[in-house]
Amino acid sequence: MQAIGLTFVDWLIIAIYFGFVLGIGFYLRGYTKTAEDFFLAGRKNSAWVAGLAFLSANLGALELLGMTGNTYKYGVYVAHFYWIGAIPAMLFLGIYMMPFYYSSRIKSIPGYLKLRFDEKTRVLNGVSFGVMTLLVSGINLYAMALVLHTFLGWNWDASMLASAVTVALYVTMSGLMSAIFTEIIQFFLIWFGLFLVSILGIIDIGGVNEVFSRIPEAFSKLWSTSGDPTQNGMMVTWGGIVLGLGFVLSFGYWTTDFLVVQRALSAKDLRSARMTPILASFFKMAVPFIVIMGGLIALALARDPGTGFALLQDGGRINYDSALPMLIARYYPPGLIGLGVTALLAGFMAGQAGNISAFNTVWTYDIYHSVFNKKASPQNLLWMGRAATLAGIVISVGTAYWAKSFPSIMDYMQAIFSWVNAPLFATMLLGMFVKWITPNGAFWGLIAGMGSSFTMFLAVKFSWIDPRFITMSSVQSDMAANFWRAWWAWLVCFGVTIVISLFTKKKPDVELVGLVKGLTPETLGQPVPLLHRPGFWAVLSLIILVVLNIWFW
């Protein structure tokens, strides 16, 4: 069923965007001649280009549909995902971890694990990352299909197919180079196309204060209700927020997920690579003014029967992810709807392109080249990268239908991150800062961390154990379980890695130069002005973060 009719101007805007994106892929194909061009965009980008692509790759379905829908479900607490759940980790990546990643000239995160530990740890992470990426990739395909289904009236199968074919075409042609180029365009499209939703909603309801007055008290606070889980929409305490989200999930994603780190690796020099996540942090802090406010507006409208506003339902169950599309349908006049739909599709395509470009790199270098064809030529790797792109898209269609079965893609996403990224962060942290951590310690610690997280997920899902043993609270929610499960998985990996490292063979120091703190020479370079130093901008970002948390306490 078609939710709203589109005018000729709407169709024209959408058609121009798709034509432009495919045209970019075709044009850049002529500049994609080597494997490094395809997988790392030739390492030629400035800090601004890499920084905007870094954030845009993250502005996919999770950020736009998922966070808006989760705000409808949980309230202002969702802002934690943007502030404490992102900014400290982004700054840590720029200041402390990028020198190790960039200077070692790795092509992927598993590539670092190979240098720091061994081949088996690299392959383990490559396989787990590949599976996780395809699961997440399905989210973006599902989200694109949701928009096509909602606005164009297409059935789900046609919507999924159209979404998959478009992304496959332009990423296959020129890899990361076209992905980054379109991500820059998509960054501005998202802001220009979606910020107006919040403005029109605030005007319609009668101001920001009126929006907050129409939602439950538990949905309007950021920290002041975190002492008692019954007093906030997410039903989680400050401990779960700080340890599970702010530390493990956040650092696990922003510092080890190759989807975003790949953009920083495409920078032209080390300073630009370090500035990439730091510049992105300022824009990341501003995104809640689109998605959080949008979710609150949707909630306020839905609680007032006189507005006639309601979210879509699938099988009698509320589809929280439909909040943002339904707001666009409500507030945007004919002609402007095309811009709103294009902005949504741009975000999902950015996220999808990011996932697929990260997947084809890890598959090609860390699985195919490492396990199946150690003597592959650069041209063979380039061919395999393009083939992996197409295969990844096909598999993503299947995972998209699985994502559709979840009430909220945010719950689905955090569950996946707690399985893979949470324990991986423990491995990376120990590997970079403790030189006596051994290859066997890292491998078995990672196995234990991922296994414990997935086991806890199944145990709660099938009621094998009481969830209170994980969340340490009598009040339960899916998100609280995700936060605490991530913390326990990190702790298990951290502990097992240390214990096994005490009894297994260490790598000699000479093999760890450039990979571990204390064995890596400081690269001071030429003195630069204060405004060009990554540390200065990191401190400024941190100050703004503190102010925002106090302001919305």
Task: Give the residue from 401, 431, 458 where a domain finishes.
Answer: 401
460 and 392 within one domain? no
* Number of other CB atoms surrounding residue 520 within 10 Å: 16
Q: Quote the CA–CA distance of 329 and 503 in Å, as a whole number.
A: 62
Among residues 58, 24, 81, which one has the least CA distance to residue 140?
58
- Number of structural domains (the chain) is 2
Q: Which residue has the tokens 């008692």?
A: 228
What would the mean pLDDT of 20-47 be, rounded to a whole number?
Answer: 61
Helices (H), 75-118: 87-92, 98-103, 109-116
395 and 424 within one domain? no
In this prediction, residue 440 carries a pLDDT of 93
Q: Quote the CA–CA distance of 234 and 231 in Å, as a whole number.
A: 9
404: β partners: none
Q: Quote the CA–CA distance of 67 and 290 in Å, as a whole number.
A: 10
- Residue 332 near residue 340, CB atoms below 8 Å: yes
Is 381 contained in some domain?
A: yes
pLDDT digits (tens, 9 = 90+) for 193-213: 777 888 888 888 888 888 888
CA atoms within 13 A on the CB side of 484: 22
Phi, psi of 316 (to 5 degrees): 80, 0
What would the mean pLDDT of 143-171 be, rounded to a whole number?
Answer: 71
pLDDT digits (tens, 9 = 90+) for 331-340: 888 777 777 7
Q: Quote the CA–CA distance of 14 and 512 in Å, as a whole number.
A: 51
Task: Give the residue from 373, 401, 429 where a domain finishes.
Answer: 401
Reading the block at residue 418, the tokens are 């707690």
Band of pLDDT at residue 492, cut at 50, 70 and 90: very high
- Residue 450 near residue 423, CB atoms below 8 Å: yes
Higher pLDDT, residue 469 or 436: 436
384 and 412 within one domain? no
Is 553 contained in some domain?
A: no
Is 546 contained in some domain?
A: no
CA 385 to chain centre: 22
Confidence (pTM): 0.74
pLDDT digits (tens, 9 = 90+) for 93-132: 888 878 877 776 776 778 888 888 888 888 888 888 888 8
Band of pLDDT at residue 5, cut at 50, 70 and 90: low
Q: Residues 52, 182, 408, CA angle at the centre, nearest 5°?
A: 75
In this prediction, residue 500 carries a pLDDT of 95
264 and 209 within one domain? yes
Q: Give me the CATH number covering residue 318.
A: 1.20.1730.10
pLDDT digits (tens, 9 = 90+) for 264-303: 777 778 888 888 889 888 888 888 887 888 888 888 887 7
Q: Quote the CA–CA distance of 137 and 392 in Å, as a whole number.
A: 9
423 and 382 within one domain? no
- Residue 108 near residue 366, CB atoms below 8 Å: yes
Among residues 215, 142, 249, 138, which one has the least CA distance to residue 479?
249
Torsion, Cα of 117, 123, 125, 126 (10° steps): 130
- Residue 249 near residue 486, CB atoms below 8 Å: yes
Whether residue 2 is predicted with pLDDT greater than 50 in this model: the reply is no
Task: Tell me which residue range forms the domain holding 395.
Answer: 1-100+155-222+232-401
Q: Residues 183, 114, 92, CA angle at the centre, nearest 5°?
A: 50
Is 135 contained in some domain?
A: no
pLDDT digits (tens, 9 = 90+) for 350-399: 667 777 777 877 888 788 888 788 887 878 887 887 788 888 888 887 87
Whether residue 438 is predicted with pLDDT greater than 90 in this model: the reply is yes
Is 70 contained in some domain?
A: yes
Q: Residues 169, 172, 174, CA angle at the centre, nearest 5°?
A: 110
Task: Give the residue from 347, 369, 401 where a domain finishes.
Answer: 401
How far apart, in Å, do the first and last CA atoms of the chain sit? 42
Whether residue 133 is predicted with pLDDT greater than 90 in this model: the reply is no
Whether residue 409 is predicted with pLDDT greater than 70 in this model: the reply is no
313: β partners: 318
467 and 368 within one domain? no
In this prediction, residue 62 carries a pLDDT of 63
Higher pLDDT, residue 120 or 400: 120
In this prediction, residue 312 carries a pLDDT of 67
In this prediction, residue 447 carries a pLDDT of 93
Is 112 contained in some domain?
A: no
Query: Which of 134-138, 266-270, 446-450, 481-485 is modeled with the greatest confidence?
Result: 446-450
432 and 387 within one domain? no
What would the mean pLDDT of 150-172 be, rounded to a whole number?
Answer: 70
